[in-house]
Amino acid sequence: MTVKIRLYVDHPLGDGQTVPLNRDQAHYLFGVMRQQAGAHVALFNGRDGEWRAEVTKAGKRAGELTCLEQTRPMQMPPDLWLLFAPIKKARTDFIVEKAAEMGAARIMPVQTEFTNSERIRQDRLQAHAVEAAEQCGGTYVPEVTDLQKLDRVLTDWPLDRQLMFCDEAEAGQARDLAAAKPGKWAILIGPEGGFSPAERKRLHALPNAHVVSLGPRILRADTAAVAALTVWQQALGDWNA
């Protein structure tokens, strides 16, 4: 049986498990999608895989589903973080959505010296990550952290995590991940104004940093995020698994 509607729920999933719906979920399922008791929905919670569930109670403000069978086991993404400097609202939303679709395990907005946006709505960005996972068929939702200063993040950087540093100053230079090895990784995308000289010097000096060129042209920040995730996934990720 093909189930077209997928919902993320913060509730355990298992054979015969009942799952309550909150008001927003009930409105979407019964008010927007016009589902009724007896309908089947795919559920996932980021821990127990995907489950086919049946609507057993349907109301305007609440509802209940019962898990029938697991349709997909839990599939974890690679241990990959995406660090990026927030830009305009819609384009920041785009970066979060595409990072969730393309297999980032953690999404970290960072404030650089030239970052244009000094604040974000972490809860709104997390909701975008949930929606992206619902739509792309994923069973895992990446955490979206609150905005952090890049210098603080680098000061506390774990020694066992490699950093793919996409430097716009390297445009046209042949630098790739040919010699890199799988493991714990992160990708760093700079702001629209680029990295400052001090930031670039510090990043180049990191022992576990890998400077990568994203081609002969300087890309917009949102384009660069998708390009970098593609480059990393093809070289070290789970696209060929």
Q: Which two tokens stand for residue 83?
A: 């660090």
The whole-chain average pLDDT of the chain stands at 92
Q: Which two tokens stand for residue 71?
A: 């349709």
Cα–Cα distance between 92 and 94 in angstroms, integer?
Answer: 5
What ranges in 43-109 are assigned the alpha helix state H?
89-101
Cα–Cα distance between 53 and 66 in angstroms, integer?
Answer: 5
Task: Evaluate if pTM is beyond 0.75.
Answer: yes
Mapped onto helix, strand or coil, the DSSP state of residue 133 is helix
Cα–Cα distance between 75 and 78 in angstroms, integer?
Answer: 10
Mapped onto helix, strand or coil, the DSSP state of residue 19 is strand
Mapped onto helix, strand or coil, the DSSP state of residue 124 is helix
Percent residues over pLDDT 70 in the chain:
96
Domains of the chain: 6-72 (2.40.240.20), 80-236 (3.40.1280.10)
172-225 pLDDT, tens digit per residue, is 565 668 778 889 999 999 888 889 999 999 998 998 998 888 888 888 999 999
Strand (E) or helix (H) holding 58: strand 50-58
Cα–Cα distance between 21 and 216 in angstroms, integer?
Answer: 49
126-148 pLDDT, tens digit per residue, is 999 999 999 999 999 999 999 99
